[in-house]
Amino acid sequence: MLRIRLAGQADAGLITDLRCMFLDELGQPLEDGFADHLRSWVEEALQDGRLQVWLAETEGRAVGCAAVNPYPHMPSAQYPAGWGWYLLNVYVKPASRRAGVATALLAAVGAAAREQGVDALSLHSTADAHGLYERFGFRTSVDAMRMPLA
């Protein structure tokens, strides 16, 4: 049976492992020491509220996750309360894909966002995942830009 739960501080190692699997699948080379650096970041971010993570478990084992970085936003028509969540690292292990895990994770994140008065969720997506996100109401934006500084 699939269980979705909000991760806690004790899950930092598991979150780190899932993030590294996700990045590896995306073809991003991970430098030596990256996992240790990431775990420290995750521990701090979970503690101070910069990161919330939902874990999907089957038979007590993590099979996927979804994370959000909450952020303040100057109030506007799209952000009346001035609060958004950036959704990232929606990941399901290959053996558990196409079984509703990502759908359950997105439903849990969406419910929590509504409950907490979040104005909008935003994300970057792989081409393969567009359909999944569109079914949840995400729309492609053509006005976003990015300036890498590192």
Interval 60-102: pLDDT, tens: 999 999 999 999 999 999 899 999 999 999 999 999 999 999 9
| Angle in degrees, 0-180, between the axes of helices 12-25 and 34-48, rounded to the nearest 10 | 130
E strand spans, the chain:
2-6, 52-58, 61-72, 83-92, 120-123
In a domain? residue 86: yes
In a domain? residue 150: no
Give the global pTM.
0.94
In a domain? residue 145: no
The stretch 13-20 carries a mean pLDDT of 98
Query: Which CATH number do you get for residue 76?
Result: 3.40.630.30
Could you tell me how many residues make up the chain?
Answer: 150
The total of other beta-carbon atoms located within 10 Å of residue 109's CB is 24
How confident is residue 54, by pLDDT bands cut at 50, 70 and 90? very high
In a domain? residue 82: yes
Number of domains in the chain: 1
In a domain? residue 141: no
How confident is residue 143, by pLDDT bands cut at 50, 70 and 90? confident
Query: Does the pLDDT of residue 141 top 90, yes or no?
Result: no
Query: Does the pLDDT of residue 35 top 90, yes or no?
Result: yes
Residue 144's pLDDT is what? 81
How confident is residue 108, by pLDDT bands cut at 50, 70 and 90? very high
Rounded distance, CA 137 to CA 129, Å?
13
Its domain, for residue 65, covers 2-135
Share of the chain above pLDDT 90, in %: 90
In a domain? residue 109: yes
Burial of 20 (0-12, 13-18, 19+ CB in 10 A): middle
In a domain? residue 44: yes
Q: Tell me which residue has tokens 């996927």.
A: 64
In a domain? residue 128: yes
Query: Does the pLDDT of residue 142 top 90, yes or no?
Result: no
Query: Does the pLDDT of residue 149 top 90, yes or no?
Result: no
